[in-house]
Amino acid sequence: MFWYVTASLTPALLIALACLLGGVWPPLALLSITGHVVAMDLLGRKLAVSDGAGRALTLILAAAHFVLLPLGVWAIGGAAHLDGWNRALIFAALGLFLGQVSNSNAHELIHAPNRLPRRLGTAIYVSLLHGHHVSAHLRVHHPAAATPEDPNSAPRGLGFWRYLLHASAGEFRAGWQADTAQRARVQRRLSPLSHPYWVYLGGGALMLSAAAGIGGAGGLAAYLGLVAYAQMQLLLSDYVQHYGLRRRKRADGRYEPIGPQHSWNAPKWYSSAMMLNAPRHSDHHMRPARAFLALEVTKDMPQLPYSLPVMAVVALVPPLWRRVMDRRVKRWEQG
């Protein structure tokens, strides 16, 4: 557990110091979630599998999220003690934290068996103006992953920037349709205002108002930039972890059950610890209720050549991405 705490909370502490003090802390904050993570991955350690839930860490990270987001909006939006260079470094560091750590933590929370952590995970996504991801992820992505019915599973040959446009609109629409269909199956009459999308949209409006209240026009611009950056990273994760892998359709028209071969995994130890084992993706899809500490990677699961953060950078250059990944996808298609 030590490494999960260290890898995920060290950037949070350094980002807070960067916002409050400036100086040497903004570059250290950015380094802690970029170069330091890559260097630690190269050490080649392994993370032990545990039956523990790690719930205390997820709650601490949720608290850190709701401290760092307004603190960052204030700092980037015009804190008098910070110059433009410091604000840019804080933006990059906090944006990466929101997209890689807060996103991974919220993902863990919305799969929790109890209502309170699920609501906390939803609140994190709402604060990133991405609340609809909760419905799309639980009601669409998990049942339909690695099929054309899932807007977040990219087919082979689709570059990330085209995927970004497709998935951004697709998951919003798919989540709405899934929620609406689920509500139609309920026997009792439901108030239209109880639709989850009212929570997502209303919560987003409150967050926009809060950002403007914290930092005025500058704070609102900082907030919109941060959430856009975080949302892009969330979709980058889905893109990288499902690119090209497809479930076969059976004779009865249904898709084969999801298996170990339908997600890419990146079991680099330190980046996995920082992201609460989100890169151990096949096991999560086969056992969504399994806590992050218990997720495993086995030899029958497709593995990425580099860590998930590194592969996300590669995906930003589609020709390079296809050169690295398409031959790997073909091997799994033939196997």
Q: Residue 216: what pLDDT?
A: 95
Counting the structural domains of the chain, the total is 1
Distance CA 194, CA 198 (A): 7
Q: What is the block-wise mean pLDDT of the chain (335 residues), using blocks of 10 residues? A: 94 98 97 96 83 88 98 96 96 98 97 95 98 98 97 97 97 96 84 90 97 96 98 97 95 93 93 96 95 92 96 98 97 84
Which of 13, 109, 72, 113 lies closest to 225, judged by CA?
72
Q: Residue 335: what pLDDT?
A: 67
Amino acid at 110: I
Which residues form the domain of 267?
A: 2-334
Q: Do residues 273 and 47 lie in contact, with contact meaning Cβ atoms separated by under 8 Å?
A: yes
Amino acid at 257: P
Distance CA 124, CA 279 (A): 20
Distance CA 319, CA 323 (A): 6
Distance CA 268, CA 38 (A): 9
Q: Does the reported pTM lie above 0.85?
A: yes
CA 240 to chain centre: 11
Q: Do residues 292 and 322 lie in contact, with contact meaning Cβ atoms separated by under 8 Å?
A: no
Distance CA 72, CA 8 (A): 17
Distance CA 138, CA 153 (A): 14
Which of 230, 190, 249, 185 lies closest to 92, judged by CA?
230
CA 298 to chain centre: 23
